[in-house]
Amino acid sequence: MASDQHNGQNTDHGTPGAPDSGSGAAARRHRAVRAAVEQGLISGTEPVVALLDVAGIRSSAAALRTAFEEVTAPGTAVLHAFAVKAAPLVAVLRLLSEQGIGAEVASPGELALARAAGVPAGRTVLDSPAKTTAELREALAQGVAVNADNPQELARIDALISSGASRSPLGLRVNPQLGAGSIGALSTATATSKFGVALRDEGALDWIVRAFLDRPWLTRLHTHSGSQGVPLELMAQGVRTVYELAEEINAAAGRRQIDTVDIGGGLPVNFGSDEETPTYADYARLLKETVPGLLDGRYGLVTEFGRSLLAKHGLVLARVEYAKSAGGRPIAVTHAGAQVAARTVYVPASWPLRIAAYDAGGRPKQGPAVAQDIAGPACFAGDLLAENRPLPLLEQDDLVAALDTGAYYFSNHYAYNSLARPGIHGFTTAPESEGGGVRFATVRAPQTVEEIVHESGGTYRDALLGG
């Protein structure tokens, strides 16, 4: 199932069981796994847990800010808004907000999470292809920035604006229709993408220009060409297309009506090693080369990165409940499968994960590499985190860590078999000179059986008996 190919990226898994153990991130990870065992976060009664490296998240946020500071003119207004869908966790949004990162939301639930985290409305952006009138009204009342997706939505905003003033910056999403990356489902700039106004369709350009000329309050353009599997060059080309559109609209208006361009996010993540590549600096420099006019201080910028801020800084740690074999191949049956890694299980060629092996005490597992399957707990044969993966032979009570899962994995639970959502804990590590201790903070408590029953309608158990 889980192929080691990942969109043409290097997928060298390093030393079996302990990938890239010399790096700072890997060293923190090893200490956190050991501490999770010692402090009872993972045990026979809590057989799966998710961990977040707080230092790593802070480092990524700082790298993002620095990368764009280095390519934009002094005084340029830049809002980095984290794509909440990547990790809809209040404590994560709060941490990022403290690092100067706002929130990009795509539903009433995500907007509520951002508000609960204390993200100011002025640092929040609402994007979605299916906003209701009620959602739009709430965003406009709060002063949240809104990017309209299509002409019908823009007509709804017209009606809401006419009935009352709003502090919300308002924009229009445009699909530059440049093509797809290696994962079609994540490519949002194809000819038939559901997102935005299709720029190259007949009559679209004229309609867009007229839409802005008729609405002096429409001051932003938004684009997002995709995410994992989309090359940086295609992303930059999409940004250039929308910048050129902004220039055309401003020339037609005879003034700088469009003052901000939202370039989306989508920086791909290397899932093959601990190396963080490509970097924000790589992308920012490419933008400087490709579309220098966007960065000369005439336009404000909004970014919407998600996966690249969190993925490398999370892991799912699971206990090996049983070690068995079938057809001569060893199988480690764990408590992490489709419920925490649905993309990997169902589309392994696009979403392979590195697996690190640890012994029952949380120490990196030693021994010769043996090809084996890492199976999850769900009741279907394809529930595999990895297939035929070379690792030190896993035994009962050992641990496996699914790496690079800080975004879109443990925060987006798949409730098959009514498996509980795992607890999520952030960790910080003290310097070795201070004892090297690990401190955990609960981000989300593990789901209880009682909560599963309630979520599944336990309150209404007799609802169907009265007919």
Mean pLDDT, to the nearest integer, of 184-211?
73
Q: How confident is the model at residue 230 (pLDDT cuts 50, 70, 90)?
A: confident
Would you say residue 389 has pLDDT above 90? yes
| Per-residue pLDDT tens over the stretch 137-157 | 999 999 999 999 999 999 999
Would you say residue 25 has pLDDT above 70? yes
Please give the Cα distance from 356 to 315 (Å, whole number). Answer: 10
Are the C-beta atoms of residues 372 and 349 closer than 8 Å to each other? no
| Per-residue pLDDT tens over the stretch 62-101 | 999 999 999 999 999 999 999 999 999 999 999 999 999 9
Q: How confident is the model at residue 193 (pLDDT cuts 50, 70, 90)?
A: low
Q: Could you tell me the pTM of the whole model?
A: 0.91
| Per-residue pLDDT tens over the stretch 317-337 | 999 999 999 999 999 999 999
Tokens linked to 262: 């939202």
Are the C-beta atoms of residues 402 and 352 closer than 8 Å to each other? no
Please give the Cα distance from 324 to 374 (Å, whole number). Answer: 11
Choose the weakest-confidence range: 3-7, 315-319, 343-347, 436-440.
Answer: 3-7
Are the C-beta atoms of residues 357 and 394 closer than 8 Å to each other? yes
Would you say residue 12 has pLDDT above 60? no
**Cα dihedral sign for 304, 308, 313, 316?**
positive
Tell me the C-alpha to C-alpha distance, in Å, between residue 213 and each of 140, 210, 251, 252, 398.
21, 5, 11, 8, 64
Please give the Cα distance from 18 to 401 (Å, whole number). Answer: 10
What are phi and psi for residue 90, nearest 5 degrees?
Answer: -60, -45
Would you say residue 354 has pLDDT above 90? yes
Which amino acid is it at 124? T
Question: What is the pLDDT at residue 27?
Answer: 94
Question: What is the pLDDT at residue 225?
Answer: 76
| Per-residue pLDDT tens over the stretch 396-418 | 999 999 999 999 998 889 999 99
In three-state secondary structure terms, 24 is helix
Question: What is the pLDDT at residue 417?
Answer: 97
What are phi and psi for residue 37, nearest 5 degrees?
Answer: -70, -50
Would you say residue 231 has pLDDT above 50? yes
Question: What is the pLDDT at residue 10?
Answer: 35
Question: What is the pLDDT at residue 226?
Answer: 67
Distance from the first to the final alpha carbon of the chain: 46
Tokens linked to 136: 């739009």
Residue with tokens 């639930």: 109
Sorted by sequence, the CB contacts under 8 Å of residue 352 that are 6+ apart come out as 2, 3, 4, 5, 6, 11, 271, 344, 386
Mean pLDDT, to the nearest integer, of 20-36?
84
Are the C-beta atoms of residues 78 and 451 closer than 8 Å to each other? no
Sorted by sequence, the CB contacts under 8 Å of residue 32 that are 6+ apart come out as 51, 53, 427, 429, 438
Percent of the chain with pLDDT over 90: 81
Tokens linked to 353: 């994960």
Question: For residue 336, which of 421, 269, 257 has the smallest C-alpha distance?
Answer: 421
Residue with tokens 């003119």: 73
Would you say residue 276 has pLDDT above 80? yes
